[in-house]
A and B are shown apart, each in its own frame.
Chain A
Amino acid sequence: MARHTLTTGLLALGFVAFSGALTWHGLNAAPAVDRPAVELDAAAVERGAYLVKTMGCHDCHTPWTMGPRGPEPDMSRALTGHPADFVMPPPPPLPPGPWLWLGAATNTAFAGPWGVSFTANLTPDKETGLGNWTAETFIAMLKTGRHEGKGRAVLPPMPVQVYAELTEEDMRAVFAYLQSLAPVHNRVPQPIDPPEAGQ
């Protein structure tokens, strides 16, 4: 189990490095602020925007599409997570060997030993995003690696163990920025457990 955890952790790190390398433009085009749900600190929002751009959040939480210059994040759907209308078929089985996991064309769905994970909607939509979260919920999620800070484990390839090292101030800044976005209703599918997960 320990080896498995390490393997998935390394894969997640490797993936982030890889996808980070693919990120070359378009990251300043997040949806305009309509109505912040709460009073937000402008400096924190600015700092959060910088962190979100540079920490690779768009790599997975913004669906990618094939453009004239190759795959690129579709910033019209920035940070909205796996599109609800992009229904993934069951992942194909992998042959024996070192290939361990698969990713969707959108870079928002991933299949591996953990089952199938879908990236979350980070916009402040109350039903389907982070609209009901508080900064404390967000910080607890990053620190504990648990959904909403108390629930199921946050799944690979989210490198939550990396973000857990952020200062609390930076965590608050990221959250402030995310809360400043326009809410987008997009109900991301729930994760799918691996077949051997039990009852």
Chain B
Amino acid sequence: MTRRVRGAFAVVLAAWGCAVTLQAGLTAGADAPPVVAPVPDLAPARLAETGLYVDGQAGAIDARNQPFTPQYVLWTDGLEKQRWVYLPPGEAIDATDEHAWEFPVGTRFWKQFSRQGRPVETRFSWRTASGWVFASYMWNEDGTDARRADEAGVPGVIEVAPGRGHSIPSQTDCTACHGTERPSPLGFTALQLSSDRDPHAVHGEAVTPGMVTLDTLVAEGRLPGARADLLTRPPRIRASDPETRAVLGYLASNCGACHNGRGEIAAFGPTIREADLVVDGDAVARALVGQRTKWQIPGVPDGESVLVAPGDPDASAVLVRMRSRRPSSQMPPLGTVVRDEAAVDLVTRWIARGRVP
């Protein structure tokens, strides 16, 4: 390469670098991994442009994006998951409401779904000045690149059971779980990151060194406004026995995003809120007992179906719908096409024992 050619190349490279830096500065702060988002509040076209990786290419994760794992996980048909969070340097989470954290502008979350080591989908949540932006990225066959999926979603991108495919959710399905009035990320709460982890949590994952936890957030000064004894009395589902605690944790992460007493379906079904569970989980469990449900269990007399019938799993709508993966009856109604056998076993045992605390 001649000196002249090298010089011209350097100028072009510098100009390109400036453009990327400008975009990064506009969208995420100068110290942030760059987000290449030419249209404000529209997620980038490629996952590699969301700032997840070191050099803008799928590969090494930027060290500023830290892994984490919630203690109660959402079932997604057994797909393997990895999660990362980026918190802007020097910015804090408003933790005044322990169960409704407010994240600083520039916060980003990624959740990657893989099957047998091959990435399938990565979901991206991005806090911008005007709110949360949600997007899903679909990986190519050889796992080298992921592009933003169509807003209508993509059905059946990979087979997770014979004849059953994992689907990438639509934009409206994103908001179905994350909310419309006050959207928020899921799985990154004081309870989910608590050091008092539930050893009986269904599909519980181990916390490994380098992961974000409640302790690391406090140590970094990220949680101003949190109560002073957050670490000495970390949040925990208050239940009188381990099985009830694990059941409630599962229901919180797999049902509570919708059934939380807020929004469009506030009047329907159970109310499972972390804020209630950490005060008196037993009371949340008792409220499920005998609560009538509009959805009718087949074979049960009209109007007599209830959420939980102690001692009678087959007469408990919660369990009947958890067992189902038929569109008209399954719960959750989206994001899964394969029954969570471990959770069904746990809830079956819990109901069959015939007593709720």
Q: Which residues of A contact B (CB under 8 A)?
A: 1, 84, 115, 127-128, 132-134, 136-137, 140-141, 143-153, 187, 190-193, 197-199
Contacts and interface: CB of A to CB of B under 8 A. Distances in A.
Chain B, interface residues (CB within 8 Å), range = 35 or more
22 contacts: A1-B155, A84-B302, A115-B327, A127-B303, A132-B267, A140-B180, A143-B172, A144-B172, A144-B175, A147-B333, A149-B264, A149-B265, A150-B264, A150-B265, A150-B333, A151-B265, A152-B330, A193-B328, A197-B327, A197-B328, A198-B163, A198-B337
A152 B328 contact: yes
Nearest to A1: B155
A136 B172 contact: no
A150 B328 contact: no
B326 A193 contact: yes
Interface of B is mostly: loop
Interface of B: 155-156, 163-164, 172-173, 175-176, 180-181, 258, 263-268, 294-296, 302-303, 323-330, 333-334, 337-339
A153 B167 CA distance: 15
Contacts of B337: 198
Contacts of A84: 302
A93 B328 CA distance: 21
Contacts of A141: 264
Contacts of A136: 181, 263-264
Contact of B328 (A128, A146, A192): A192
Q: Which 9 A-B pairs have the closest CB atoms?
A: A199-B325, A132-B267, A149-B264, A137-B264, A193-B326, A191-B328, A140-B264, A197-B326, A144-B172
Nearest to B171: A144
Most buried by A among B265, B302, B323: B265
B295 A190 contact: yes
Contacts of B334: 146
Contacts of A127: 294, 303
Contacts, number: 81
Contacts of A191: 328
A150 to B, nearest CB: 5
A187 B302 contact: yes
Nearest to B334: A146
Contacts of B172: 143-146
B77 to A, nearest CB: 12
Nearest to B296: A190
A146 B333 contact: yes
A197 B173 CA distance: 20
A115 B302 contact: no
Contacts of A187: 296, 302-303
Contact of A193 (B181, B263, B267, B327): B327
A163 to B, nearest CB: 14
A190 to B, nearest CB: 6
Nearest to A116: B328
A134 B264 contact: yes
B328 A190 contact: yes
Nearest to A117: B328
A141 B338 CA distance: 25
Contacts of A1: 155-156
A146 B156 contact: no
Contacts of A134: 264, 266-267
Contacts of B327: 115, 152-153, 193, 197
Contacts of A149: 176, 264-265
Contacts of B325: 198-199
A198 B333 CA distance: 14
A88 to B, nearest CB: 15
A149 B267 CA distance: 13
A143 B265 CA distance: 15
A146 B174 CA distance: 13
Nearest to B257: A150
A128 to B, nearest CB: 8
B339 A199 contact: yes
A148 B268 contact: yes
Contacts of A148: 264-265, 268
Given A150-B176, A193-B327, A198 B164 contact: yes
A145 B172 CA distance: 9
Nearest to B175: A144
A197 B337 CA distance: 10
Contacts of A150: 176, 258, 264-265, 333
